[in-house]
Amino acid sequence: MTYQSGRHFLQIPGPTNVPDRVLRAISKPTIDHRGPEFAELSLAVLAGLQRIFQTSGPVVVYPSSGTGAWEAALVNTLSPGDKVLMFETGHFATLWRKIAAAFDLEVDFVPTNWRHGVKPEVVAEKLAADKDHQIKSVMVVHNETSTGVTSRIPLIREAMDRAKHPALLMVDTISSLASIDYRHEAWGVDVTVGCSQKGLMLPPGLGLNAVSQKALAAAKSAKLPKSFWDWQAMFAANQVGFFPYTPATNLLYGLREAIQMLEEEGLPNVFARHDRHAEATRRAVRAWGLEILCENPQEYSSSLTAVMMPQGVKADALLDLVLDKFDMCLGIGLGKVKGKIFRIGHLGDFNDLMLAGTLAGLEMGLSLAGIPFTKGGIAAALDYLEGTLK
């Protein structure tokens, strides 16, 4: 391969760029995971994650991907044959549904066109019709990574409360945790699913569950099979800073450093930074004359922007071109939108100049690929960024 000078632009919506501070932390020598130094590390990480999830309840950390954390949320709270309410907001919601079906759960899967989030009024209708409370859980992807659409969790919780329905609320925050404002406890979420490789600025390898008291109560009667994912084994070991099996020690080093970085910036500032970069990106897309996949401005994602290709134009050639010419990776379309969109990731350890470089590479790529568009997206984004600094 020919050497390409400069940095690689990893602008997919996760895994994200891992900052140097986190890389250095991960490189520390591995220690005994049954010794006192590890217990200190573990307890610090678990307390820090409570602050990131904004909860006083327990947080479980698995050596896994986010897919493992999906499964853990299900098997710890539900029993075979239980009915769950899910929403087809995109590719990853569809994958979560497949896991639920594999465990013999009865899934009411509400279809959408992938261009909007979960509608609170549909939640209200479904729960109001469930007079016998057969639905045991409402399961929502907060930020759908395949579409750039963010569902409004507080409104969904309000709809559940108005219906006076006892179902658990489970929320996937895999591409929103530490990027978009999210409040596990204040929003009445029972199980929140997260992972390490997006807003937490780590490599893949850690799956997360934040757990409410209501979910803990449900776990006492849940009958789905579990061993590796068992919360109870985790809670017993975590109390004194240990794990029931070998943990990902070096990733925990990195997680401790990432939490410190997020808190040095301040979570409100982290969320505001992501909001600002997302708006600048959308202004660039509109100036290019391209269409944003998300239809509802109230549901725009601050983690990524999914952009629709002009009618009849495939996205793959553009993505190949910007990788070859500018060493930049953008997100491909997945599932129903494969070849029809591309996704710009603007989350994690990211700043104004990184966004400017990303948009510059994309504008040049659109031109070189011969895709019909109007130049000026970079200027629109920079004007907005500059204006917000005054």
Name the superfamily (CATH) of residues 9-16+267-389: Aspartate Aminotransferase, domain 1 (3.90.1150.10)
Q: How far is CA 261 from the centre of its chain?
A: 19
Beta carbons of 84 and 96 less than 8 angstroms apart? no
Q: Average pLDDT for residues 278-297, to the nearest whole number? A: 98
Q: What pLDDT is recorded for position 156?
A: 98
**Which of the four pLDDT bands, split at 50, 70 and 90, describes residue 40?**
very high
Contact 131, 108 (CB under 8 A): no
Read off the amino acid at residue 69. Answer: A
Mean local confidence (pLDDT), 317-342: 97
Q: Which residues pair with 84 in a beta bridge?
A: 107, 137
The distance of Cα 306 from the centroid of its chain, to the nearest Å, equals 14
pLDDT confidence of residue 1 = 67
How much helix, strand and coil, in percent to the nearest 5, is found in the chain?
45, 15, 40
Average the pLDDT over 273-291 and give the result.
Answer: 98
Q: In which band, very low, low, confident or very high, does the pLDDT at 355 lie, cut at 50, 70 and 90? A: very high
Q: Which fold has domain 20-263?
A: Aspartate Aminotransferase; domain 2 (3.40.640)
Closest-CA residue to 235 (of 260, 253, 257, 210) = 210
Euclidean distance between CA atoms 182 and 28, whole angstroms: 31
User: Quick one: pLDDT at residue 390?
Assistant: 83
For residue 276, pLDDT beyond 70: yes
Dihedral (Cα; 171, 175, 146, 98), 10-degree rounding: -40
Mean pLDDT of 274-289: 98
pLDDT digits (tens, 9 = 90+) for 179-194: 999 999 999 999 999 9
Percent of the chain at pLDDT above 90?
99
Dist. CA 44–CA 143, nearest whole Å: 27
Report how many helices (DSSP H) and strands (DSSP E) the chain contains, helices first: 13, 14
Answer yes or no: pTM beyond 0.95.
Answer: yes
Q: What is the DSSP string of 126-142?
A: HHHH-TT--EEEEEEES
| Sign for the pseudo-dihedral over CA of 237, 242, 244, 248 | positive
> Which pLDDT tens digit goes with each residue over 131-183?
999 999 999 999 999 999 999 999 999 999 999 999 999 999 999 999 999 99
Domain ranges of the chain: 9-16+267-389, 20-263
pLDDT of the residue at 253: 98
Distance between CA atoms of residues 259 and 273, nearest Å: 16
Position 114 pLDDT exceeds 70? yes
Residues 6+ positions from 227 with CB-CB distance below 8 Å: none
Write down the mean pLDDT value for the chain: 97
Tokens of 206: 């850690």
| Class of residue 41 by CB neighbours under 10 A (exposed 0-12, middle 13-18, buried 19+) | buried
**pLDDT at residue 2, as a whole number:** 82
Instruction: Report angle CA 41, 42, 44 to the nearest 5 degrees.
Output: 65
Neighbour count for residue 349 (Cβ, 10 Å): 16
CB 58 within 8 A of CB 205: no
Cis peptide before 58 (omega within 30 of 0): no
